[in-house]
Amino acid sequence: MTANWVEVSPEATTMLGAGPFAGAPLPPQPIALIFDLAAETPTLSFRTVFDEEECHDGGIACIVQRSAFERIGGVWAGERSVHLPSMLRTIATALRDCPLTGEAQQVYRLGKSIELICESIRLQNAAAFVAFTPDCALLAEDVRRVVAAKRMIEERWSEKLTLDKIARACGLNRAKLTRGFRDTFNCSIAEALAEQRLQQASLMLRTTDKPVSSIGYENGYLNNASFARAFSRRFGLSPSGFRQTAA
C-alpha cells in the first residue's frame, strides 16, 4: 500500500500505510493512535511519540495534539496496546480501503479519520478495551480466542448464537470460554449478546417508526413482555418511553 496522509485539522493528521510520510504536518505534543490491521491479532497502540517504524503496510496512525485529544474527551491512560474492537476495525478498514479518488477520497478519509478518533476515545472512556499481552504465549492465545468470541458476538449477534457454536468457532471448550470471557469482559456470553441486541433495539426505536413489538422480535425477543423487561433493566425506561424521550 502506498504511503499517504490526510490533514484532519491543524491539530491532527492521519497516516496511511508505511512511512516515510514526506511533507505530512505533525502536531506538537502528539498522542499517536496506531492501528495495526494486518497483524494476526489486530491491535490499537497508544503512544506519546510517533515512530514511523510502528507504521506498517495496511495500517493507520492518527496523530492528535494532546490538548485536542483532551478537549474532545480523551483521557491519557499511558502507553499501551489493546485488542482492536470490531467497530474500530470496520471504520479503519473503510478509511484505508476507500475506493474513491481525488477530492472525494480526501473528504471521505477526513470524515472517517474524525470518526475513528472519536470512537476510540468513546470506547476508552467506556473501559471497553482489552489489554494486549504478548509476553505469555498461552495466555495471549487464550485471550485472542476470547476476543474472537466477542468479535463474533458483535458481528453476528442477529444469528442464533449458542455457547457451543461460539466455542467451536473460536477453538475453546465451553468451560474455558465461559470463564475467560467473564474474566476478560466482566460479563457472560449471554449478557454480551443481550447488550448487542438491546443496543440495536434502541437504535431502531430512535430511527424508525416500527412497532415496539416488531423491534423486540427482530432483536431476538419472542414476546413483548420479555423485551420490555430487558429493555427497562438496561435503559431505565420502557421501549415506548425511550422512544418518546428520544423524539
Tens digits of per-residue pLDDT, 172-204? 999 889 988 888 888 899 999 999 999 999 999
Where exactly are the structural domains of the chain? 4-125, 140-186, 191-246
Q: At 145, list the grid cell.
A: 480466542
CA 38 remoteness from chain centre: 16
Which CATH architecture does the domain made up of 191-246 adopt? Orthogonal Bundle (1.10)
Q: Distance between CA 152 and CA 146 in Å, rounded?
A: 10
Half-sphere exposure of residue 93: CA atoms within 13 angstroms, side-chain side: 11
pLDDT grade, residue 145 (50/70/90)? confident
Average of pLDDT values for 26-32? 93
The answer to whether the beta carbons of residues 202 and 242 sit under 8 Å apart is: yes
pLDDT in tens, 58-110: 899 999 999 999 999 999 988 988 888 888 999 999 999 999 999 999 999 99
136 pLDDT band (50/70/90 cuts)? very low
| 232 has pLDDT over 90 | yes
Work out the angle at residue 71's Cα, subtended by the Cα atoms of residues 65 and 75, and round it to the nearest 5 degrees: 80
Residue count (the chain): 247
First to last CA, the chain: 45
Which position has the grid cell 480523551?
74
Most confident by average pLDDT, 31-45, 54-68, 111-125, 148-162: 111-125
- By three-state DSSP, how is residue 51 classified? coil
Q: Average of pLDDT values for 132-139?
A: 54
